[in-house]
Chain A
Amino acid sequence: DTGVSQDPRHKITKRGQNVTFRCDPISEHNRLYWYRQTLGQGPEFLTYFQNEAQLEKSRLLSDRFSAERPKGSFSTLEIQRTEQGDSAMYLCASSLETNTEAFFGQGTRLTVV
């Protein structure tokens, strides 16, 4: 198993454009998490899934953000009408179950210009 994979690694987009990121978790991991991290900060929780069900969304996740995990495997995070404040590293993690070790991907660095 190659671990948690995120694509793309880097994305530069113009303000107002939509972007979509993909996360492939470790196979058979039921839990999948999305985080956002800005410079000098720890990762901030955005949302998580148990299989295909989205169980919790942070208040940070405005209506411009949507996440899906349609078949309980890979997940996508879409940001509509990007703003400069969306510039950050977006991290994905997966774990077998709740309270088991979570493994993080290398992240997608988004720059909105």
Chain B
Amino acid sequence: TQLLEQSPQFLSIQEGENLTVYCNSSSVFSSLQWYRQEPGEGPVLLVTVVTGGEVKKLKRLTFQFGDARKDSSLHITAAQPGDTGLYLCADRDDKIIFGKGTRLHILP
């Protein structure tokens, strides 16, 4: 059974700071996805990466996929209060397997 570990579990930083969160898998990803989930809502897809070493940018968010396709990072530049939420990495195949998430809180 694939295990996805995310770190840190919790992160609270000031608005304007930069941050990086991590995701590690016990096995190679089929395709890696990052989601953000806000309280009372379902997860919303941010990005899908497939190729080892791939880097994708979404405004202030940079997603990096490890060469071995077993790890990933999400970097946020100049965090804003609107970035607050639960960030989930996931393996997308026939179904979606999620990590436990990193709960991010941006202080104004």
Which residues of A are in contact with B by a Cβ distance under 8 Å? 4, 33, 35, 40-45, 48, 55-56, 91, 93, 98-99, 101-107
Contacts and interface: CB of A to CB of B under 8 A. Distances in A.
Given A40-B100, A42-B100, A99-B31, A33 B40 contact: no
A38 B62 CA distance: 28
Query: How many of chain B's residues touch chain A, expressed as a range?
Result: 20 to 34
Given A4-B42, A102-B45, A45 B94 contact: no
Contacts of B98: 35, 42-45
9 contacts: A4-B42, A42-B90, A42-B100, A43-B43, A43-B96, A91-B42, A99-B31, A105-B42, A106-B42
Nearest to B41: A106
Given A93-B42, A98-B94, 11 more contacts: A33-B95, A41-B101, A42-B99, A43-B43, A43-B98, A45-B98, A99-B31, A99-B93, A102-B45, A105-B42, A107-B42
B45 A101 contact: yes
A44 B40 CA distance: 16
A104 B42 contact: yes
A97 to B, nearest CB: 10
Contacts of A56: 94-95
Contacts of B92: 99, 102
Given A105-B42, A106-B41, A41 B100 contact: yes
